[in-house]
Structure 1
Amino acid sequence: MKWLLSLAVRSAWNRRLTLGMTLVAVALSVTLLLGVERVRHEARNSFALSVSGTDLVVGARTSAVQLMLYAVFRLGDASNNIRWQSYQAIADDPAVAWAIPLSLGDSHHGLPVLGTTGAYFEHFRYGDGQALQFASGRPFDGLFETVLGAEVAKRLSYRIGDRIIISHGMGDVGLAEHEDKPFTVVGILAPTGTPVDRTLHVSLQAIQAIHLDWAGGAPLPGLSIPAEHVRKFDLQPKEITAALIGLKSRAAVFRLQRKINDHPGEPLLAVLPGVALDQLWQMVGFAERTLLAVSTMVLAVGLAGLVAVVLASLGERRRELAILRSVGARPRELFLLLSAEALFVTLLGALLGVALLALLSAVLAPLVQAHFGLSLSARWVSSDELRLLAAVVAAGLLASLVPGYSAYRLSLADGLTPRL
């Protein structure tokens, strides 16, 4: 058997270009399959870890998924705002331990600006109950001060003391700017891998101040209130976009949820973050399955190409296999020889695919984090990815039986008879 394997290795080396191209195709297919699985897993993790310790998310009545998307992930727009009096009534409920008001709607170079209070830095949690940390600086205290997320500071090269201009509305181009009321950077948060990194944080009073001389989404003609005079006005917010609520006891979460949903003053919606995320994954589940099916088809094409290459080589190797038969190789040994060759290419392709995925994860992680907010870890394989790899190897084993069986059927006479 050792001499048979030695001949097989030499034969494969003589066909190294053809087998090498097939190996690359299998490796890329495995990389795509595992890459889709990893992105799907990391996307779920990034969404699930974006908010932790929050019992209820409250906003104007809409769908639970839409409320989570704009309140937590800064995606989309709110259907309506909620009155400040309604927020105060919720925050003053005896069951509420803390409340964080959120005001959205402005931006800076396409990045969202969030109006909030000091409670945000004190009570907001992400990941496994982790608190926000400052990489440099401090929370905002003055009216026109801002705290930047890690990605904002890195992407725009901002440092403590820099002055920035906020734009009215969400987007990147064509927006009116609050250029008469610049903000000073006083703090930069440490990276979190959540939407916090892509957010600029200011006070609720600052949001109110920059809109004193605005109406209907545009500056009032002939009216301009300088930044040094805005403190003479009432800067108490009239409405906010949403609120994050933490309770003293989670046993009261359903009672308070019903109370908020039945709020007599205006139509409100309170959702449990975990329940809303489950609804979100049910909505995008079809897209996930479609991506997985496409990558599986790509892998199937790669394995089919492997079988085709090995089968095509049988025409060139008929005499080689016949000579092996003539020197004592039995049909089952030829079967094992051809099957082992195809299986070896599959195994090596799977290993190369895993290595390529680890390399791409390490190289592309900063870009994916910057543009999509997904935190890709440069690791080997997870348990789910191991199961996919096992399925790939099993599929490769089944595919290798085809050329093995073809070789088994070759007879000594068939191999030595000249073909006309």
Structure 2
Amino acid sequence: MKALLHIAARSAWNRRGTLMLVVLSIALATALLLGLERLRTDVRSSFTAAVSGTDLVVGARTGPVQLMLYAVFRVGGATNNIQIDSVKAIAEHRAVRWVVPIALGDSHRGHPVIGTTPAYFEHFMYGDRQPLALQQGRAFSGTLDGLYEAVLGAEVAEALGYTLGQKITLTHGLGAAPGDLAAEHADKPFTVVGILARTGTPVDRSVHVSLQAIEAIHLDWVGGAPLPAAAGLKIAPEFARKFDLEPKQVTAVMVGLKSRAAVFAVQRFVASYEPEPLLAVLPGVALDELWQAVGLGEKALLAISGLVALVSLASLVAVVLAGLNERRRELAVLRAVGAGPRQVLVLLATEGALVTLCGALLGAALAAAAVLAAGPWVQQRFGIGLQAGAPTPEQWGLFAAVLAAGMLASLVPGWRAYRLSLADGLSPRT
């Protein structure tokens, strides 16, 4: 067997130019398979880790997935806001431990702005129930004296080069272009008082201010447009504190319960709340619905990658079969010196297996290199943390499937060589 392996390796080396193209084809197919599987796994992990410790997310009545997307992942927009009286009613429920209201709708240089309360930094958790931590500075005070204070996510501070004490201005709306003076709240700048540690969640891409600050910057705005300064209707930042800045509406509410057993009771209470239509969703259930919605797309991408791998293996079969006629004398000599038909079959199958193994290993290396190279960019652009760790069980399964398929494909030319007779090899037909 050792001699056959040596012969197979030497024979493959003699045809290295053609076989290297096959190896590269298999490598690219394997890298595509493993890369998509890693991306699929890490996308799910990033979404699942975005919020933990929150029992319910409450918002205006809409789809559960849509509510989770805009309230937690800052994707899309709310169909409607909810009244602050509704938030208070939920907070007064006997099973509720804490509520954290959030107000969305503004941005800063393309990053979403979240209006919330200091309780956000106390109760919001991510990953395996990890609390938010400040890398620098402190949380905003939530008082009138600290009305114009902002806490930045790690990615915002890093991408824009912000430091503590720096002045920033917010932009009205999520779709306004950075630098659009008509949409900026330039008359009410904020001071950066804190920078959060990196979490790998949408928190990193967000700017956090108080709910009172959101009210203050919109005092002199009506219908999504600022009141004309020439008419003397602009309100100076220092005078905004004299107004009632208690928010009238918020976008959504994160709810923590005293006991997980009460989750369905509180959910029914929210669903039957009479003053306005509300929806309370369990984050885990909503994420499951999201995966069901995108599951077909995942399977389609994986199927396409599998077809690419099959085409690559088919090229291996085609190359070996095409070169079989040229190797008839080589195989005949092997038969003449005592190699049996089964050994010839093993020889051809071993060659194909070696080519497949080289291609699969190169593909795995390419996939790992792509994760290392593209990981920071994907994290910054999409908030998805690609893990360059040990292969997952699914990746091992795909790698083994490629090897098994390559070995099976190698049996085709091996079986063809097995059927060649000694006389055919010594006197090949032309």
Pairwise TM-score range, normalised by the shorter structure: over 0.9
2:161: which partner in 1? 157
1:27-84 per-residue CA deviation (whole Å, 9 max, x = no partner) reads 1111100111111111111111111011110000001110000001100000000001
SS of structure 2 residue aligned to 1:344 = helix
Post-superposition offset of 1:418:
4.8
State yes or no: 1:385 paired with 2:389.
no
Task: Report the AA paired with residue 18 of structure 1.
Answer: T
2:306: which partner in 1? 296
State yes or no: 1:305 paired with 2:315.
yes
Post-superposition offset of 1:205:
0.4
State the TM-score, normalized to the length of structure 2: 0.95
Cα distance in 1 for residues equivalent to 2:147 and 2:244 = 13
Post-superposition offset of 1:119:
0.4
Q: How does 1:200-239 map to 2 (within 5 A)?
A: 200-221=207-228, 222=231, 223-239=233-249
Cα distance in 2 for residues equivalent to 1:9 and 1:69 = 54
Please say which of residues 57-66 and 358-367 is displaced more in the overlay. 358-367
1:159-192 per-residue CA deviation (whole Å, 9 max, x = no partner) reads 1111111111113517511111111111111111
Cα distance in 1 for residues equivalent to 2:152 and 2:75 = 18
Post-superposition offset of 1:380:
2.9
Cα distance in 1 for residues equivalent to 2:390 and 2:340 = 41
1:48: which partner in 2? 48
Query: Is contact 1:354–1:381 with CA below 8 Å preserved after alignment?
Result: no
Post-superposition offset of 1:3:
3.3
SS of structure 2 residue aligned to 1:201 = strand
Q: How does 1:87-102 map to 2 (within 5 A)?
A: 87-102=87-102
SS of structure 1 residue aligned to 2:285 = helix
Task: Report the AA paired with residue 227 of structure 2.
Answer: L
SS of structure 2 residue aligned to 1:265 = coil
Task: Report the AA paired with residue 91 of structure 1.
Answer: A
Query: How big is the alpha-carbon RMSD for the aligned residues of Structure 1 and Structure 2?
Result: 1.2
State yes or no: 1:68 paired with 2:68.
yes
Query: Is contact 1:102–1:240 with CA below 8 Å preserved after alignment?
Result: yes
Query: Is contact 1:358–1:380 with CA below 8 Å preserved after alignment?
Result: no
Task: Report the AA paired with residue 57 of structure 2.
Answer: V
- Sequence identity of aligned pairs in percent? 62
1:266: which partner in 2? 276
1:346: which partner in 2? 356
State the TM-score, normalized to the length of structure 1: 0.98
Q: How does 1:172-251 map to 2 (within 5 A)?
A: 173=177, 175=180, 176-221=183-228, 222=231, 223-251=233-261
Post-superposition offset of 1:108:
1.1
Query: Is contact 2:54–2:256 with CA below 8 Å preserved after alignment?
Result: yes
Query: Is contact 1:56–1:253 with CA below 8 Å preserved after alignment?
Result: yes
Cα distance in 1 for residues equivalent to 2:428 and 2:20 = 30
5+ long unaligned stretches in structure 2: none
2:131: which partner in 1? 131
Query: Is contact 1:354–1:380 with CA below 8 Å preserved after alignment?
Result: no
Query: Is contact 1:164–1:182 with CA below 8 Å preserved after alignment?
Result: yes
Q: Give 2:383's match in structure 1, choosing from 373, 376, 386.
A: 373
Post-superposition offset of 1:387:
1.4
Aligned length: 420
Task: Report the AA paired with residue 30 of structure 1.
Answer: T
SS of structure 1 residue aligned to 2:323 = helix
Q: How does 1:8-27 map to 2 (within 5 A)?
A: 8-27=8-27
Cα distance in 1 for residues equivalent to 2:428 and 2:241 = 100
1:83: which partner in 2? 83
1:191-211 per-residue CA deviation (whole Å, 9 max, x = no partner) reads 111110111000000000000
SS of structure 2 residue aligned to 1:269 = strand
